[in-house]
Amino acid sequence: MPFEEVKKIWMNGKLVDFADAKVHVLTHGLHYGSGLFEGIRSYVTKDRGPAIFRLDEHTRRLFDSCKIYRMEIPFSFEEIRQACIETVSANEFEDCYLRPLVYRGFHSLGVFPAACPVDVVIAAWHWGKYLGPEALEQGVDVCISSWNRMAPNTFPALAKATGNYMNSILIRQEAAIDGYSEGIALDVNGYVSEGSGENVFMVRDDKIYTPPIGASILSGITRDCVIRLARDFGYEVTETLIPREALYVADEVFFTGTAAEVTPIRSIDKITIGKGRRGPVTGRIQKEFFAYIAGEISDRYGWLTPVYAERAARKKPTLVAR
Ligand code: PPE
């Protein structure tokens, strides 16, 4: 689906028209993948209007990603948070996907980026169900990718860097060509790592397992939600190395991610997982997650930032680039 035009995109402190949100072809980030980004969702809630989900945690991860790459964001944490809120409201969105991106801009080429500006943009658009509308109920058919995730000390997996997504593209393309919805990559030691854009969980005998951050994963914010919600239900959740074959014999396997939310996996490499449909543990966690984001249960962790209430409470003037 081509992009549907939105009203405004936030660029370096200003909301600009969609048509004007352009960069030069010699932008550093375009040549070397020198960008760090986030993916955040805003949801319509029952009583609090549209609310951005886990805005603080996503903003924190963006700052962390930039720190790893020695890039100083020319805005404060609070300015970035507010800019996300502004971007949703300027587009009059309710549910939407937000994409903050920090990248080395236009100045000069060559790998050493110090002279290039650090540019910041935030876009928002409507993004439907990541792995298709039926996926949340029926589950998806996936494969183990022939591509591994990056080795430790090559590309830092904890940084959500644009360049990392070249590896994701290899995984996702291969899966699509072979007729699967998605691929799960192993790390360089052969243990389960993650999907091209999702973390992975497995359930066996009512116990839940997910790979640790040392398995070259992105430390997913949805992963954190699921760990907490599952523990609140009384499930034991263990972050541990998972060999590939443990997935084949699991009772349930599912993906988590901002875009993918909580998506069941019904087969891996054509091996049926459990009963070949969404399992009871996945169903329970998924239901709780959707109730949480919709504001149907209490926001006990303070994960929702209502867009309009926050804006009304804010007294600071409109943001300007430093
Ligand atoms: N691993 C990877 C590699 C990844 O890209 C994501 C998010 C996750 C795990 C889950 O992280 P979190 O969203 O914090 O729970 N992928 C984003 C981008 C997907 C895309 O195609 O673009 C997302 O879901 O927003």
Q: What's the 187 CA to ligand 1 centre distance in angstroms?
A: 17
For ligand 1, atom 21, the nearest C-alpha belongs to 197
Strand-pair category, 271-272 with 118-125? unpaired
Q: Report which of 40, 121, 50 is spatially closest to residue 83, judged by C-alpha positions.
A: 121
Tell me what pLDDT residue 82 has.
97
The tokens describing 239, both together, are 């972050």
Q: Is 160 a catalytic residue?
A: yes
Q: Report which of 150, 145, 170 is spatially closest to residue 160, judged by C-alpha positions.
A: 150
Q: What's the 196 CA to ligand 1 centre distance in angstroms?
A: 8
CA distance 120 to 11: 6
For ligand 1, atom 9, the nearest C-alpha belongs to 198
Tell me what pLDDT residue 101 has.
99
The model carries a pTM of 0.95
Tell me what pLDDT residue 311 has.
65
The tokens describing 216, both together, are 């070259």
Within a 10 A sphere around the Cβ of 299, how many other Cβ atoms? 15
CA distance 304 to 53: 5
Q: Catalytic: which of 14, 67, 160, 316?
A: 160
Contacts (Cβ under 8 Å, ≥6 apart) of 124 = 6, 9, 42, 87, 88, 91, 93, 96, 97, 98, 99
Q: What's the 279 CA to ligand 1 centre distance in angstroms?
A: 23
pLDDT in tens, 39-51: 999 999 999 999 9
How many helices (H) does the chain have, and how many strands (E)? 9, 17
Say if residues 145 and 192 touch (Cβ distance below 8 Å). no
Counting atoms of ligand 1 from 1, which one is nearest the CA of 164? Answer: 3
Pocket test for ligand 1, best of 165, 198, 292 (most atoms within 8 A of CB): 198
Residues with CB under 6 A from ligand 1: 39, 168, 194, 197-199, 218, 220-223, 256-260
Tell me what pLDDT residue 132 has.
83
CA distance 272 to 262: 19
Q: Is 40 exposed, middle or buried (0-12, 13-18, 19+ CB in 10 A)?
A: buried
Tell me what pLDDT residue 2 has.
80
Phi-psi sector, 75: left (phi>0), alpha (psi -120 to 50), beta: beta
Counting atoms of ligand 1 from 1, which one is nearest the CA of 40? Answer: 25
Dump the DSSP string for 71-110.
---SS-HHHHHHHHHHHHHHTT-SSEEEEEEEEE-SS--S
- 43 bridge partner residues: 51
Q: What's the 242 CA to ligand 1 centre distance in angstroms?
A: 20
pLDDT in tens, 146-158: 999 999 999 999 9
User: How far from chain centre, in Å, is Cα 77?
Assistant: 19
Pocket test for ligand 1, best of 168, 218, 219 (most atoms within 8 A of CB): 218
Residue showing tokens 């799960």: 184
The 10 Å CB-count burial string (b at 16+, else e) for 78-107 is ebbbbbbbbbbbebebebbbbbbbbbbbbe
Q: What's the 315 CA to ligand 1 centre distance in angstroms?
A: 33
Counting atoms of ligand 1 from 1, which one is nearest the CA of 221? Answer: 14
User: How far from chain centre, in Å, is Cα 285?
Assistant: 18
Give the residue ranges of the chain where pLDDT is below 50.
322
Q: What's the 120 CA to ligand 1 centre distance in angstroms?
A: 19
For ligand 1, atom 3, the nearest C-alpha belongs to 197
Q: Report which of 22, 221, 4 is spatially closest to residue 127, judged by C-alpha positions.
A: 4
